[in-house]
């Protein structure tokens, strides 16, 4: 005879209490999934109540359908696999009674009105079910489903303790669901804490933890610990425009492509608004890592232009020596510094961190700050260097050159301008120079023939990228009252060749203002003369390194001759820069270059000295020979 039948009510209650305690412990266990919890509840309910089957069903929102979530067969001690779980169509009477009671119990399902729902009859027949005790599962007060304890083959009277126990199984299912929901919420919170929302990549905090773990792992002597930082460069305009893709869109696109192309070899994290950190999957040699970093540059380069936006990468790599191998934070920072440093050199650059560079960077940062202060304190000046015609000594133009009066000394632009060009500071400085020079040039007297002097002003690459450049130039001219035809903007050849700026468009817009354009330092870029056709330029300035070699250096002479011939052929003026002696002036003249600038004629002078110089009539410098 079954032990259940010989038990007293007290013994039975005790047994139930033990079963409930064990179950509570099991489903609160950290490793217990929802699936496992449902299985445990069904199994222990089947054992405790000594029934043939236990099922957990979810009730559809309109209460017309039951979908089985879990099913346990006591005879075979088997959990039914998910794919064979049933769905039942209901007419609504059964779910209506579930709403009202703590348990639905029936000794004979065939005759009992509570189980008379038509959808249930064939189900009962199929499984030879005679008696049931079903407990509703309520989650936050709403009927979610039901747990059914089913007796097959013979009808059975349910004792009061059995009904109470069955009812508590409904609460257990609800509890298991609640635990699951909380775990999911916790996982989500944890995910949010450790991931970047824009790209769904691990964030800085997470990456730091990964690096820390990696640093603790043992590695072979030829292997290095390393972090690669990919800094994304986008033109200023992208981040500012209101329509079109945003900078954040571009970062998400870069994240995707990095994931696709190098994701298998490394962990990728978003650690800065414009930067990704990469940690190679396994320890590698210095050579392998450098190759890897180079590929990262290529990957980003290959996606440009992306939706009409130029995207570039500056990649920094840091290798760790044994002595500083424990500092994950420092490692990341140094990779970032290397990438920042690479970015100063232009787009698609790679740089490996080393201490020397680090010191250089710190110095640059100090200098940059000092320049910001200097701009605020009015320590900058613009000096003007004459450009003359060697045939008759008449001056036709003057170049504005920036000077910094620092602690009583006048610093030349070459001492600080590249640092300014590495940051947005050049925009403020450039704007200041332009405004100052236009105001000064208005006061310059015309030459003996009554022709006005041309003002030449240098523009750097970043200024050309600035979408408000054309408006700023127009504004400076207008405020000073300088006719646009008196201004000539100098742009270096390297700037013109820089990728990522639609130079030709900007040049045409500038030309449309009525100003002239000059190519500066001509010959120093990877020049192909053919591109001259596409640029609307008026003047070529031959770099002083070619002039320096004259008259002795035949190569320099050949280059100057070729440039002069070409320029004359297409109607562009040529200026020789850095003329320091008569021999150079003479050589230039023989090669067809008569417009000259250099210390032979004048150094760059402050406005008052420059005015004094041009007030006197010009004296021709004799051309030798």
Active site residues: 577
Q: What is the C-alpha to C-alpha distance for residues 411 and 536, in angstroms, rounded to an integer?
A: 33
Q: What's the Cα-to-Cα distance from 99 to each of 6, 167, 258, 490, rounded to whole Å?
A: 34, 13, 54, 84
Q: Which of 314, 433, 564, 593 is close enough to bind ligand C2E by CB under 6 A?
A: 433
- The reply to whether 607 sits near Ca ion by the rule CB under 5 A is no
Please report the sign of the dihedral spanned by the C-alpha atoms of residue 212, residue 214, residue 217, residue 218.
negative
Neighbours of 538 (CB within 10 A): 16
At its nearest, how many Å lie between ligand C2E and the CB of residue 199? 36
Binding partner selected for residue 28 from ligand C2E, Ca ion, none, CB under the kind-specific 5 to 8 Å limit: none
Question: Do 359 and 407 contact (CB within 8 A), yes or no?
Answer: no
At its nearest, how many Å lie between ligand C2E and the CB of residue 506? 15
Question: Do 592 and 565 contact (CB within 8 A), yes or no?
Answer: yes
Binding partner selected for residue 343 from Ca ion, ligand C2E, none, CB under the kind-specific 5 to 8 Å limit: none
Question: Do 58 and 95 contact (CB within 8 A), yes or no?
Answer: no
Question: Do 613 and 605 contact (CB within 8 A), yes or no?
Answer: yes
At its nearest, how many Å lie between Ca ion and the CB of residue 385? 9
First to last CA, the chain: 134
Q: Which is nearer to ligand C2E, 331 or 401 (CB)?
A: 401
HSE-CB of 64 using CA atoms within 13 angstroms: 2
Q: Which is nearer to Ca ion, 203 or 492 (CB)?
A: 492
- The reply to whether 387 sits near Ca ion by the rule CB under 5 A is no
Q: What is the C-alpha to C-alpha distance for residues 130 and 128, in angstroms, rounded to an integer?
A: 6
Q: Which of 219, 580, 581, 582 is close enough to bind ligand C2E by CB under 6 A?
A: 580
- The reply to whether 71 sits near ligand C2E by the rule CB under 6 A is no
Binding partner selected for residue 598 from ligand C2E, Ca ion, none, CB under the kind-specific 5 to 8 Å limit: ligand C2E
Residues 448-467 that bind ligand C2E (CB under 6 A): 458-460
Bridge partners, residue 490, by sequence: 458, 518
At its nearest, how many Å lie between Ca ion and the CB of residue 454? 13
Q: Which is nearer to Ca ion, 251 or 400 (CB)?
A: 400
Alpha helices in 481-606 (DSSP H): 493-497, 503-513, 544-548, 554-569, 582-590
Beta-sheet strands, E only, within 201-348: 225-233, 266-272, 275-280, 312-320
At its nearest, how many Å lie between Ca ion and the CB of residue 420? 15
Vertex 560 angle, CA 555 and 561, to 5°: 95
- The reply to whether 521 sits near Ca ion by the rule CB under 5 A is yes
Q: Which is nearer to Ca ion, 74 or 602 (CB)?
A: 602
Query: Which of the ranges 7-15, 209-217, 238-246, 413-421 carries the binding residues for ligand C2E, by CB under 6 A?
Result: 413-421
- The reply to whether 402 sits near ligand C2E by the rule CB under 6 A is yes
Q: Which is nearer to Ca ion, 6 or 414 (CB)?
A: 414
Vertex 518 angle, CA 517 and 522, to 5°: 155
Q: What is the C-alpha to C-alpha distance for residues 85 and 123, in angstroms, rounded to an integer?
A: 12
Residue 274 tokens, joined? 């414009």
At its nearest, how many Å lie between Ca ion and the CB of residue 619? 25
Q: Which is nearer to ligand C2E, 196 or 586 (CB)?
A: 586
Find where tokens 């320099």 sit.
556
At its nearest, how many Å lie between ligand C2E and the CB of residue 578? 4
Residues 538-557 that bind ligand C2E (CB under 6 A): 544
Q: Which of 254, 296, 604, 614 is close enough to bind ligand C2E by CB under 6 A?
A: 604
Q: Which is nearer to ligand C2E, 185 or 412 (CB)?
A: 412
- The reply to whether 417 sits near ligand C2E by the rule CB under 6 A is yes
- The reply to whether 458 sits near Ca ion by the rule CB under 5 A is yes
- The reply to whether 315 sits near ligand C2E by the rule CB under 6 A is no
DSSP H or E segment with residue 73:
strand 65-73
Enumerate binding residues for ligand C2E (CB under 6 A).
385, 400-402, 412-414, 417, 430, 433, 458-460, 520-521, 544, 577-580, 598-599, 604
Enumerate binding residues for Ca ion (CB under 5 A).
458, 490, 520-521, 577
């Amino acid at each position: 005879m079954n032990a259940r039948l010989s038990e007293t009510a007290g013994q039975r209650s005790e047994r139930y209490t033990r079963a409930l305690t064990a179950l509570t412990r099991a489903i609160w266990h950290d490793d217990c999934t929802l699936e496992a919890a449902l299985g445990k509840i069904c199994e222990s309910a089947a054992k405790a109540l000594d029934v043939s089957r236990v099922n957990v069903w979810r009730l559809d929102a309109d209460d017309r359908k039951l979908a089985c979530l879990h099913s346990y067969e006591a005879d075979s001690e088997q959990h039914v696999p998910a794919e064979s779980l049933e769905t039942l169509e209901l007419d609504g009477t059964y779910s209506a009674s579930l709403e009202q009671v703590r348990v639905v119990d029936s000794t004979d399902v065939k005759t009992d009105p509570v189980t008379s729902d038509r959808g249930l009859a064939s189900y009962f027949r199929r499984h030879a079910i005679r008696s049931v005790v079903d407990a509703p599962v309520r989650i936050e007060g709403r009927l979610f489903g039901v747990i059914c304890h089913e007796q097959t083959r013979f009808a059975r009277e349910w004792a009061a303790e059995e009904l109470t126990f069955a009812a508590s199984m409904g609460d257990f299912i609800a509890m298991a669901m609640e635990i699951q929901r909380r775990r999911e919420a916790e996982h989500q919170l944890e995910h949010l804490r450790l991931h970047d929302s824009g790209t769904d990549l691990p964030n800085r905090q997470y990456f730091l933890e990964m690096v820390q773990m990696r640093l603790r792992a043992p590695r072979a002597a030829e292997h290095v610990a390393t972090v690669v930082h990919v800094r994304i460069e986008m033109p200023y305009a992208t981040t500012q425009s209101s329509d079109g893709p945003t900078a954040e869109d571009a970062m998400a696109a870069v994240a995707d492509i990095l994931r696709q192309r190098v994701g298998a070899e490394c962990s990728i994290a978003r650690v800065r608004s414009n930067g990704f950190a990469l940690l190679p999957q396994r320890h590698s040699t210095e050579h392998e890592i450098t190759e890897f970093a180079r590929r990262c540059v290529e990957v980003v380069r290959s996606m440009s232009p992306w939706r009409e936006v130029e995207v570039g990468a500056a990649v920094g790599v840091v290798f760790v020596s044994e002595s500083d191998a424990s500092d994950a934070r420092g490692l990341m920072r140094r990779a970032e510094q290397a990438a920042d440093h690479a970015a100063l050199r232009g787009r698609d650059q790679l740089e490996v961190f080393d201490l020397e560079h680090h010191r250089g960077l710190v110095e640059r940062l100090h200098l940059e700050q000092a320049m910001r202060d200097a701009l605020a304190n009015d320590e900058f000046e613009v000096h003007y260097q004459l450009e003359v015609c060697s045939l008759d000594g008449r001056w036709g133009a003057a170049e504005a050159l920036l000077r910094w009066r620092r602690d009583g000394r006048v610093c030349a632009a070459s001492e600080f301008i590249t640092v300014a060009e590495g940051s947005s500071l050049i925009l403020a400085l450039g704007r200041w120079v332009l405004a100052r020079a236009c105001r000064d040039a208005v006061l310059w007297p015309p030459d003996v023939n009554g022709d006005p002097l041309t003002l030449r002003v240098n523009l750097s690459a970043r200024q050309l990228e600035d979408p408000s450049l054309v408006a700023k130039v127009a504004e400076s001219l207008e405020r000073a009252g300088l006719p646009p035809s008196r201004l000539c903007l100098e742009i270096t050849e390297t700037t013109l060749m820089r990728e990522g700026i639609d130079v030709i468009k900007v040049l045409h817009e500038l030309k449309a203002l009525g100003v002239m354009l000059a190519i500066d330092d001509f010959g120093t870029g990877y020049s192909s003369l053919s591109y001259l056709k596409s640029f609307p330029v008026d003047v070529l300035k031959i770099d002083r390194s070619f002039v320096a070699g004259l008259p002795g250096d035949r190569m320099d002479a050949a280059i100057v001759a070729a440039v002069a011939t070409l320029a004359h052929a297409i109607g562009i003026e040529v200026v020789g820069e850095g003329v320091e002696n008569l021999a150079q002036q003479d050589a230039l003249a023989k090669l067809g270059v008569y417009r000259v600038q250099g210390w032979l004629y004048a150094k760059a002078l402050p406005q008052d000295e420059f005015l004094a110089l041009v007030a006197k009539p010009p004296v021709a410098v004799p051309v030798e020979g």
